Amino acid sequence: MAFTNGFTKHTKQECLDIAIVGGGLVGSLAALHMAKKGHKVSLYEYREDIRTAELVIGRSINLALSVRGRKALKEVGLEDKLLEHGIAMYARMIHNTDGTRNAIPYDRRNHQAIYSVGRKYLNEVLLTAAEKYPNINLNFNKKMVGGKVDKGEVTFIDTTNEEKKNIFADLIIGCDGAFSSVRREMLKRNGFNYSQTYIEHGYLELCIPPAADGGFQMPENYLHIWPRGKFMMIALPNQDRTWTVTLFMPFENFDSIKSSEELLKFFEIYFPDAIPLIGKERLVKDFFKIPAQHLIAVKCRPYHISSKCVLIGDAGHAVVPFYGQGMNAGFEDCSILTELFNKYGSDLEKILTEFSETRWIDAHAVCDLAMYNYIEMRDLVNKKSFLMRKALDDFLHWIAPSYWVPLYSSVSFTCMPYKKCIENREWQDRVLNKIFTVCSFIGVSSCLLGAIHLYNTYNTMEELSFN
């Protein structure tokens, strides 16, 4: 496959040696983006090739692909392939404790959906596409153990033979996830601001198997939610008709469930309809298999060091999973990098500086949004005030589609910068508050006028009755 050279005029144009650390979703997509711009890309992944791996550790996990991720996939010609595979989810399906369910559409007006896609499948598609580029070189079983990343140097150990090797590149892109080794090196450098925050809730994965007839046990075009105030359970559909179920809960609640009796009692109270779906035996087995896992949020600023190293994806901005934006934000990083390469050619100094100076605002914003959405998902979706606001938002979006975009839609169905999504919502809140105040004033005034009118009528009648 011939590769295109996307350099625009009047910019520094050079073919760069780019080393990508991490061959997960963001790493393999970044390789495609950089190769498409004509650079020589070497990708280094700690694990073995996921496509030929015999052992798949843990359960296959699915992710919600939305517009930002789709855009970045489209830019390397892979959007359609992924959408064909993915399962569209048009609405949240709320499961109540009495067994009833109600759907809350994501986008009542345009019927847009988010797509449940398998992590493994997506990763495989990206790696296979990468392999077709003559200027991408894939390296597996390469564990990063150090390196002067500010000098473009990384040290890897080959996990198959313990051989140590230093590589040098014009640019290192760290896409090695929330526990990034590239970031660990950057942490030692002056001026690198960093925070990692664990929330006090953990998660645990369960599974709903297919029905006896091989189909889905629940309607599949929904993201199923069991909101229970302080905790919640969600389920996303898989291609093989199973559901990946995730229980999010404070660690102290996980710790309080010690026996299968206690577990079943807990499920009977809070998730009674899920017991027959999962099956008692499987529920007990999966629940006690591994302890609840932690959830981390990461913020960095800047994302680059010298003009040799930059962090993207979870390595730069891991978020809690409640807005389904972790992968989408990481994919969006690839789009943004491509835009900056279009703007500045191969002038890495300018590219990385602009990336660092602008991206953190939106990355910090999506981090905060994701924290907020946990409260919305586990608690607010059950509240009348949320449903009324949702109806009002839908109505206003219907009469002024480009003017009034609800928060969820702006995050999941547009590429509006995340920070702008928050500001947009704050502006909407102010407008609605004002309208509410004016309506209240009119209401109170009307009542008062009514009361005065009644009083006058009564007085007149009394006078008449006296006369």
Q: Is 192 in the site for a copy of itself (CB under 8 A)?
A: yes
Q: Is 102 in the site for a copy of itself (CB under 8 A)?
A: no
Among 99, 191, 214, 215, binds a copy of itself (CB under 8 A): 191
Q: Is 427 in the site for a copy of itself (CB under 8 A)?
A: no
Q: Hey, how many other C-beta atoms are within 10 angstroms of the C-beta on 448?
A: 10
CA distance 411 to 394: 15
Among 102, 195, 433, 456, binds a copy of itself (CB under 8 A): 195
Helices (H) and strands (E) in the chain, counts: 15, 20
Identify which of residues 179 and 427 has a Cβ nearer to a copy of itself in the complex. 179
**CB contact at 8 A, 136 and 38:** no
* Bridging pattern class, strands 171-174 and 309-311: parallel
Q: Is 188 in the site for a copy of itself (CB under 8 A)?
A: yes
The interface region with a copy of itself, picked from 129-137, 140-148, 180-188, 445-453 by CB under 8 A, is: 180-188
Among 196, 433, 456, 459, binds a copy of itself (CB under 8 A): 196
Q: For residue 291, what is the DSSP state?
A: P
Q: Is 197 in the site for a copy of itself (CB under 8 A)?
A: yes
Identify which of residues 191 and 215 has a Cβ nearer to a copy of itself in the complex. 191
Token pair 């959405």 is found at: 373
Q: Is 194 in the site for a copy of itself (CB under 8 A)?
A: yes
Identify which of residues 193 and 467 has a Cβ nearer to a copy of itself in the complex. 193
Q: Is 349 in the site for a copy of itself (CB under 8 A)?
A: no
Identify which of residues 194 and 427 has a Cβ nearer to a copy of itself in the complex. 194
Identify which of residues 300 and 421 has a Cβ nearer to a copy of itself in the complex. 300
Tell me the number of residues near a copy of itself by CB under 8 A: 14
Among 80, 163, 179, 459, binds a copy of itself (CB under 8 A): 179
Q: Which residues of 392-420 are buried (b: 16+ CB within 10 A; e: fewer)?
A: ebbebbeeeeeebbbbbbbbbbbebbbbe
Q: Shortest gap between Cβ of 192 and a copy of itself (angstroms)?
A: 7
What is the secondary structure of 339-400 as a DSSP string?
A: HHHHHHTT-HHHHHHHHHHHHHHHHHHHHHHHHHHHHHHHTGGGSHHHHHHHHHHHHHHHHS
Q: Shortest gap between Cβ of 371 and a copy of itself (angstroms)?
A: 14
Radius of gyration of the chain, Cα coordinates, nearest whole angstrom: 26
What is the secondary structure of 205-273 as a DSSP string?
A: EEEEPPPTTSS-SS-SSEEEEEE-SS-EEEEEE-TTS-EEEEEEEEHHHHHH--SHHHHHHHHHHH-TT
Among 52, 100, 190, 467, binds a copy of itself (CB under 8 A): 190
Q: Shortest gap between Cβ of 53 and a copy of itself (angstroms)?
A: 24
The interface region with a copy of itself, picked from 42-50, 193-201, 266-274, 349-357 by CB under 8 A, is: 193-201
Q: Shortest gap between Cβ of 184 and a copy of itself (angstroms)?
A: 8
Nearest to 156 by CA among 172, 179, 170: 172
Exposed, middle or buried by CB within 10 Å (0-12, 13-18, 19+), for 262?
exposed
Q: Is 187 in the site for a copy of itself (CB under 8 A)?
A: yes
Q: Shortest gap between Cβ of 177 and a copy of itself (angstroms)?
A: 13
Q: Is 193 in the site for a copy of itself (CB under 8 A)?
A: yes
Nearest to 32 by CA among 328, 342, 331: 331
- Residues lying near a copy of itself in the complex (CB under 8 A) are found at 179, 184, 187-188, 190-198, 294
